[in-house]
Amino acid sequence: MNFGSDNMAGVSPRIMAALAEANAGPAPAYGNDDLTRRAESMLQEFFEHEVAVAFVSTGTAANALALSCLVEPFGAVVCHAEAHIMVDECGAPEFYSGGAKLVGSAGYGAKLTPEIIVDVLERVGPLKPHHVRPQAVSVTQASEIGTVYSQSEIAAISVLAHARGLKVHMDGARFANALTHLDCAPADITWRAGVDVLCFGATKAGAMAAEAVIAFDPTLREALAYRRKRSGHLLSKHRFIAAQWISFLEKDHWRELAGHANAMAQRLAAGIAASGRGRVAFAVEANEVFAVIARADDERLRAAGAIHHPWSTHGIGLDPLPGDDEVFVRLVTSFATTERDVDRFLAVLGGKSA
């Protein structure tokens, strides 16, 4: 009953096998190998667009590198108050950009809207040179609260951002889950909707350590390459990250992995709603369920071996807020979650012993 994080899951056996296969013999280092070239060209096909790619091993590195290509040291990034870049990256975007400021704003379901962004831009930026200069908007797809931006929501944000001279960054640590939910072409919710740079994550979906900065403006290639090396994120045995990407993309393995994780989240959410022992707090559109449950049920679940985290209610529009005898929890599913895990959790929630 591990619903702690998709980072706690192991690696998809197919991706593990691809790593073992890539281990045969030597290969050129630092990304000058055939697997890297193949992974890059597969991403190009996947997005139906020329892209500049920088493979890295963590989502924090991807986000920080991407943003450092979009903003100056005196720039600002508009994001949600609960965005991973805002609260969970130890200031890496600020550090890599040489001091750019992140401006976080509340928004229902951890999502930004054009109205929220306009409100931020009215407060931050006009007084030159006293204010920082807003230069990018960052959206998280799927969001930190498991909601997904539709194509039109992203496009509306991009139109506004571009009209104000801001670039659009997408933190896609759970992009595969969002894409599976929307069931559209990857291009539709990225460059066709105005996204300039996507950080595409494979790790949470089932890779070992495989993230990719995808710039839809290929002229960013050099800026990315220098920043990646300078920050110590250019892997010498680069073929192993490329092998994970090839396996992830090949035969739509990403869809299989993310589809299963999403389906398990649906099963969990439906079960919680049907149990009458919890309230599912936001639309379940990816692989995360956020629910308010009784503290006593939470304690019984933990005693039975369930692993999950209490979550912050800040800035996401949770209404009503949990009472004193309730707790707001995050439950994350992954490619490795089984129906049995979900059903056991639901049984314990419903008052049965594990």
Ligand X SMILES: Cc1ncc(COP(=O)(O)O)c(C=O)c1O
Q: How far is the CB of 93 from ligand X (least distance, A)?
A: 11
Give the nearer residue to ligand X in terms of CB position, either 144 or 298. Answer: 144
Q: Least distance to ligand X from the beta carbon of 169, Å? A: 11
Instruction: Give the Cα separation of 290 and 273 in Å (integer).
Output: 12
Cβ proximity to ligand X: between 36 and 63 the closer is 63
> Closer CB to ligand X, residue 101 or residue 330?
330
Residue 338 is given by DSSP the state: -
Gap between the Cα atoms of 61 and 336, Å rounded: 25
CA distance 68 to 96: 6
- Kindly report each contact of residues 127-130 with a partner whose C-beta sits within 8 Å and lies 24 or more positions away, as own/partner: 129/74
Give least dist CB 177 to ligand X, A: 11
Looking up tokens 């595409």 gives 200
Q: How far is the CB of 171 from ligand X (least distance, A)?
A: 5
User: Which one, 84 or 167, has the nearer CB to ligand X?
Assistant: 84
Binding site for ligand X (CB under 6 A): 58-60, 84, 140, 144, 171, 173, 203
Sequence letter at residue 64: A
With CB atoms as reference, the residue minimizing the distance to ligand X is 59
Shortest Å, Cβ 63 to ligand X: 6
State the Cα angle at 148 between 142 and 153, rounded to 5°.
120
Closest distance of CB 322 from ligand X, Å: 22
Helices and strands in the chain: count of H runs, count of E runs: 13, 11
Which stretch of DSSP H or E encloses residue 178? helix 175-182
SS3 52: strand
Nearer Cβ to ligand X (171/341): 171
Smaller CB distance to ligand X: residue 94 or 326? Answer: 94
Q: What is the dihedral of CA 237, 238, 241, 246, to 10 degrees?
A: -120
